[in-house]
Structure 1
Amino acid sequence: MELVIEKSDLQNVLKKAISATEKKSALPILSNFLLEAVDDKLIVQGTDLEVHVSVSVFAKIEKEGKACVNAKKITDISRLLPSNEVYIKLEDSVLKIKSGKTKYSLPVVPSEDFPMMYPFPEDNAFVVSGDDIQKAISKTSYATSKEETRYALQGVLFKSLDGTIDVVATDGHRLALYTINRNGTGDVEIIVPQKALNELKKLLTGLEDVEMAASDQYVFFRTKEWILMSRLLEGAFPDYTKVIPQDFNIEIKLDKKEFLDAVKRVSAVIEGDPKPIKLTLKENTLQLLSKSSEYGEAVDELSVDYTGEEFSIGFNARYLIEAVEVIDGDTVIIRFTTPNAQTLILPKDENDRYKAIVMPMEIA
């Protein structure tokens, strides 16, 4: 293996793959990158056996070949190189790196020991927008479960429908749904781990089209520059369609910033989590109230277009904040049914495909 590459290109490709590697593992091979020089590109692979990332970049290839080298060490070195042009050569089981007058010799391990990525399932593929995937991740992943016992709920559901995909996360107390468009006939109903989505966000620019496909155990995302493969989460995901209310008794419209600021002000007297907050609708007024036996109470009011009977409902303030913060636009719609039933939070824009459900909590 022998190649010449721009320093910035080398830095970028290593940066994209480094977090997929395993730093502390019973398998030392997982702390390494697999470097492959082929055609006119350098391909860098990293994996922890759960997530596998392969990223390619243009390079002048003098001799094709592979090398398996410590991921952290070569990434750290790439940041310190003095010259824009970098020479990399595999020679006698040593990877030699030269930049300006600086030279490194790094030990390598057998390339054949590096775990291989499975083939992309071409027959089950479809195309989605990188921008859509970015939005879907940012607008849903906050609602995943943090409890280790709720294994399936630690991930995000991708379920294909006619021409669209529902991307859904829930922890049993709240739910976030974002619908994205797709081109192609492949179908998925899979639960993708949070780590894979975090890695995917680092790879996406938002400008590219992304091929997506799944096998029985793995999901794949692919562009011309990179491939991400992730093991799927097993387990049953609840039927999210049953918890989205179709009918409601009350609808109010709120300025997003004013509402968020009021919730944050009122919940400031509560330490820890949950942060119980009571919303009460009165004539043209939304009152926000929280009480703490140790720190006292807080009350705030917002003007709102409401003329019905007085209506009170309790929430965990953090759930309200996280559901509203990801909304685009300046106006938030909140729909209530009863004080004991789930509440629907929406953006004002009817073309926006985001929905959030928050379950109420009892407040004395």
Structure 2
Amino acid sequence: MMWFKLERNLLEELIERVVPVIPSRTPYPIIQNILCSTEHGKLSFLATDLDIYVKTWTVLKAKEESKILLPGRKLLGIVKESNADEMEFTREENKIIVKAGRSVFKMPILDAEEFPRMFELPQETRFSVDGKDLRRIFEAVEFAVSKGEDRPAMTGIYWELKNERNRMVATDGHRMAVSEDKNSVPKIEERSQILPTKIFNFFPKEIDGPIDVSMDNTKIGLSFNSTEVVSRLIEGPYPDYEKVIPKEIKNVLTVSREEFTSALRRMMIFTNQVTRQIKLVLGKKTLEISSFSPEGEEAHEELTASYKGESFEVAYNGSYLLDIMRHIETEDVVFDITGALSAALIHGSGTKDEQVRFYLLMPILLD
């Protein structure tokens, strides 16, 4: 019996929204499938890794209401490699048949009741936020999230909604990224939570319009563009990040972001592949940066810069500096430095007072 037909491009778009959550390896093979449902005039796809559930749908009048499990990545492969304009799904005894032009694919039907039930959307706190604003805040800090599993809280992004600010923070212990948007602050009671970064993988690159957010103490739900993402939150506590933000600034360096970034790339050619050390010499009308390799190679360059403060040398991980430069949006970048052994506060020129976006970077010992 013919189940439903759908335009191939739309089918590919729907499946691509949910497939990224499917784990490549898991002791639970059932979650390598996606739950395909036709009910209430909609076609929906649901996938999970047991921590995050992703569901997406489109309006469709199927021949019958039904639920079946289909192998997620294989189904996406069938759809992507097909050159047909439309794809037809037919049920035949214990098999599902997919017809695409002259191609026919047959797959066994698995019991849909074995698939885990999706988390219910939390109801404790609910609000809407502009999708572009939320994505912009997230993208400014994501790179600083810890990759290690020894401190689980730091593998997520700290989302702080209080004091009339919408702020996200990420840190791996060596660097910290802080981004906020004061124009997109929901009117709710103050709260904070640690978000798994994976939930943002399901945002469209060019998301437009509001995102409906719902949360409680253990879960968060995001609804947008006929898609729902419900995820467990990461358990805290999160480090007291405000404690490490310098309060008294003694030395201020201002330099062209483009010129500094370009020079950094040149200096990186001769760095130690482990420490990636870049040395900055402060105290002149020009900024001197240099690097040295274990093989005895060295590189030096002077840049025009403005500097107010004491004369000293300091070193940073060049790769971390480049990461930060990619997220500075102003022509000039400012380093507020307390000393050679203290974290540098790095931000765009003219943005410190608003604290819209700033970064902290710990120095490394000079070789």
Number of the residue aligned with 1:208: 209
Contact 1:20–1:46 (8 Å) recurs in 2: yes
CA 1:162–1:61: 2 relative to 1, 3 Å? farther
> What is the aligned partner in structure 1 of residue 57 from structure 2?
56
Which SS does the other structure have where 2:21 is aligned?
A: coil
Instruction: Answer with 219-228 or 27-36: which moved more.
Output: 219-228
Tell me which moved more, 343-352 or 241-250: 343-352
Distance 2:332 2:309 in 1: 21
Residue 188 of structure 2, aligned match among 182, 185, 188? 185
Cα contact 1:125–1:213 (8 A) shared by 2: yes
Is the Cα–Cα contact under 8 Å of residues 147 and 154 in structure 1 kept in the other structure? yes
SS at match of 2:230: strand
Q: Does 2:125 match 1:95?
A: no
Q: 1:329 to 1:93 in 2, by over 3 A?
A: farther
Paired residues of 1:11 and 1:78 also in contact (CA < 8 A)? yes
- Report the TM-score when normalising by structure 1: 0.92
- Residue 137 (structure 1) aligned with residue 138 (structure 2): yes
Inter-CA distance 211–273: structure 2 relative to 1 (3 Å threshold): farther
Secondary structure of 1:283's counterpart equals coil
TM-score normalized by the length of structure 2: 0.91
The amino acid across from 2:302 in the alignment is: E
The aligned counterpart of 1:240 is 241
SS at match of 2:322: helix
Instruction: Supply the RMSD in Å over aligned alpha carbons.
Output: 2.1
The Cα offsets for residues 110-149 of structure 1, whole Å up to 9 and x where unpaired, read as 1111111111123411222221222222211111112221
Matched with 2:174 is 173
Runs of 4+ in structure 1 displaced over 4 angstroms?
none
In structure 2, the residue matched to 1:124 is 125
In structure 1, the residue corresponding to 2:81 is in which secondary structure?
A: coil
Partner of 1:219: 220
| Matching of residues 179-328 of structure 1 within 5 Å | 179-180=180-181, 181-185=184-188, 187-197=190-200, 199-201=201-203, 203-306=204-307, 308-328=309-329
- Taking the aligned partners of 1:206 and 1:247, their CA distance within structure 2 comes to 39
The aligned residue for residue 77 of structure 2 is 76
Is the partner of 1:109 in helix, strand or coil? coil
Q: Secondary structure at the match of 2:132?
A: helix
Alignment identity in percent? 26
1:36 and 2:37 matched: yes
Aligned to 2:337: 336
2:121 touches 2:220 (CA, 8 Å); kept in 1? no
Q: Give the C-alpha shift of residue 164 in structure 1.
A: 2.9
Aligned residue in 2 for 1:157: 158
- Distance, in Å, in 1 between the alignment partners of 2:225 and 2:308 is 56
Cα gap change, 1:60 to 1:7, in 2 (>3 Å): farther
In 1, are the aligned partners of 2:337 and 2:344 still within 8 Å (CA)? yes
Whole-Å Cα distance in 2 between the matches of residues 70 and 187 of structure 1?
42
* Structure 1, unaligned runs of 5 or more: none
CA 97–72 in structure 1, closer or farther in 2 if over 3 Å, else same: same
The runs of 5 or more residues in structure 2 that have no matched partner are: none
How far apart, in 1, do the equivalents of 2:63 and 2:87 lie? 13
What code does the residue aligned with 1:325 have? R
